Amino acid sequence: MKTVWMHYLKILWIKLKEDDSMKKLGFWSIVLLAINSIIGSGIFLSPGAVIQKAGKYTLVVYAAAAIFAAVLAITFAAAAKYVNKSGASYAYATAAFGENVGFYVGITRFVAASIAWGVIATAVVKTTLAIFGGNAQDFVSVTIGLLILMVVLLLVNVTGNKVFAFFNNLATIGKLAALITTIIVGFIVVMMTGHSHFNDINQLVDVSQLNTSTFVMAVIAAFYAFVGFESVASGAEDMKAPEKNLPRAIPLAILIIAVIYISIIAVIMMINPTAVLTSKHVVSLVTVFESPIISNIILYGALISMVGISIAGSFSTPRILEAIANENQVPAWFKQRTKYDFPFNAFITTFLVALIIPMAFQYNMVSIIVLSSISRFIQFIVVPIGVMMFYYNRSRGEVLPNVYKNKFTDVILPIIGLVLTVILLVKFDWKGQFSIVTPHHIEPNYFAIIAMVIGYVVLPLVLFIANQKRRHV
């Protein structure tokens, strides 16, 4: 009798395992997840800035940014084969280099995510002000709007996951509708009129003096529209055959997104490049079309997208800091939750970082976008080196056994990604991004410099010292 029961229990266990595997994300689910994670506000906010820098080479710039993102995305996917813990780059760095390097990567990743959240929140406020006739360039108005938005986000977080699901669905629908509408209508207009303004860009933007540094700055600005791929691999444990599907799914998602982005840019440059270059509107795409209906679709689609992403950022970003606290690498104060199971302390800390850095840049969206992209490059240096260490069994931490190793994805592509990252950092216009140009002279942007020092030197150092003292008590 006992044997019979053991037999049935064994069969039941096998069935449960099969059912559990069915819940894991398959190839196309991973592709869709990557698309939803990557398409955010960048394509709505940065096209004009990129076109202003690159002119007729803008399509090449977006293609270069897509290739760069694909190389790094595959590298992150490769890392997920060896380390399937939550935390993505934080977990990979800890496994490769130990707790100290992992700690710094985790903190700077938190800062990067906070900056990205601040960028989105600023865009939401500016877009809302523009819709309702406010001054989107007024410092005080934007600051008050940001404070109000943060309070709203706090309340939304307290309400629970159903609200998040609702807004995330709206965000997906909104951003895809806005982008696809722009592409379809744009090409219809060009075909019906039989006239393209693509070559007008040669008179609008002088690229005769285009150098490597300028091109790199344009690529970095365009690259912001592709960030988000680094978080996809963090869910590897919930995916079917991640070692096979991630390296294929994420590049495919980036390819699809690149096609959408390049189509958007082509439409802009064919219909009305002057409008997007001269527009003061935070969502510059709305000025491309004369039709108020199309402009409103783009505007409200962008706003819905940014609100949804802002809410998602307010949910996930504080939990990065909380995850580090759960590993006892920052004071336990950051993982304390309210009676409603909400990480209030981590939220407030995240809010302060997300507010201070945009304020430091006087809410200059282009500067904030560039800073947000650059802040991620720490991960783009550490993770490729970590993947190569995993491949050659040189890691200092625990990795998964019996991993399928591939020299192309685990060594060659990480080297390419590392080289491209270093080149971008070397050619980056540091002086231009951390200075203020006035009609008479150029002066340092002390607020921006202080923000960088606090975010990448002072904050990690203070938390590290506090952690060391806490451990020795």
For the segment 259-283, the average pLDDT, to the nearest whole number, is 82
For the ranges 44-53, 201-210, 251-260, the maximum mean pLDDT occurs at 251-260
Number of neighbours of residue 131 by Cβ within 10 angstroms? 15
In angstroms and rounded to an integer, the radius of gyration of the C-alpha atoms of the chain is: 23
- The residues with which 435 forms a beta bridge, in sequence order, are 444
Tokens of 450: 């202080």
For the segment 457-462, the average pLDDT, to the nearest whole number, is 83
Assess whether pLDDT exceeds 80 at residue 1: no
CA atoms of 401 and 437, how far apart (whole Å): 55
Has residue 335 been placed in a domain? yes
CA atoms of 114 and 119, how far apart (whole Å): 9
Number of neighbours of residue 225 by Cβ within 10 angstroms? 29
Residue linked to tokens 């060391």: 468
For the segment 345-360, the average pLDDT, to the nearest whole number, is 84
Summarised one tens digit per residue, pLDDT across range 389-410 is 999 999 988 888 888 888 999 9
Has residue 343 been placed in a domain? yes
| CB of 170 closer than 8 Å to CB of 304 | yes
CA atoms of 393 and 110, how far apart (whole Å): 28
For the segment 140-169, the average pLDDT, to the nearest whole number, is 76
For the segment 42-56, the average pLDDT, to the nearest whole number, is 78
Summarised one tens digit per residue, pLDDT across range 179-202 is 888 888 888 888 888 888 888 888
Has residue 13 been placed in a domain? no
CATH code of the domain covering residue 248:
1.20.1740.10
Closest CA to 92 of 456, 379, 412: 379
Angle separating helix axes 58-82 and 212-223, nearest 10 degrees: 60
Please tell me whether residue 15 adopts helix, strand or coil conformation: helix
Enter the pTM of the model: 0.76
- The residues with which 239 forms a beta bridge, in sequence order, are 25
Amino acid in position 159: T
Assess whether pLDDT exceeds 50 at residue 235: yes
Has residue 1 been placed in a domain? no
Inter-CA distances, 430 with 213, 433, 445, Å = 10, 5, 11
Has residue 19 been placed in a domain? no
Range of the domain at 427: 26-472
Number of neighbours of residue 4 by Cβ within 10 angstroms? 8
| CB of 70 closer than 8 Å to CB of 148 | no
Cβ-based burial of 426 (10 A; exposed 0-12, middle 13-18, buried ≥19)? exposed
The shares of helix, strand and coil residues in the chain, as percent rounded to the nearest 5, are 80, 0, 20
The C-alpha angle 19, 88, 302, rounded to 5 degrees, equals 90
pLDDT of residue 418: 94
| CB of 268 closer than 8 Å to CB of 276 | yes
Please report which confidence band the pLDDT of residue 12 belongs to, taking 50, 70 and 90 as the band edges: very low
For the segment 126-145, the average pLDDT, to the nearest whole number, is 83
For the segment 220-232, the average pLDDT, to the nearest whole number, is 78
Please tell me whether residue 154 adopts helix, strand or coil conformation: helix
Has residue 10 been placed in a domain? no
CA atoms of 30 and 253, how far apart (whole Å): 9
Has residue 33 been placed in a domain? yes
pLDDT of residue 388: 96
CA atoms of 331 and 337, how far apart (whole Å): 13
Mean pLDDT, rounded, of the chain = 78
| CB of 313 closer than 8 Å to CB of 120 | yes
pLDDT of residue 359: 80
Closest CA to 267 of 38, 42, 47: 47
The sign of the torsion formed by the CA atoms of 58, 64, 65, 66 equals: positive
Inter-CA distances, 402 with 280, 390, 414, Å = 55, 12, 21
User: 57-66, 314-323, 411-420: which range is least confident on average?
Assistant: 314-323
- Domains: count for the chain: 1
| CB of 415 closer than 8 Å to CB of 141 | no
Has residue 6 been placed in a domain? no
| CB of 14 closer than 8 Å to CB of 235 | no
Number of neighbours of residue 423 by Cβ within 10 angstroms? 14
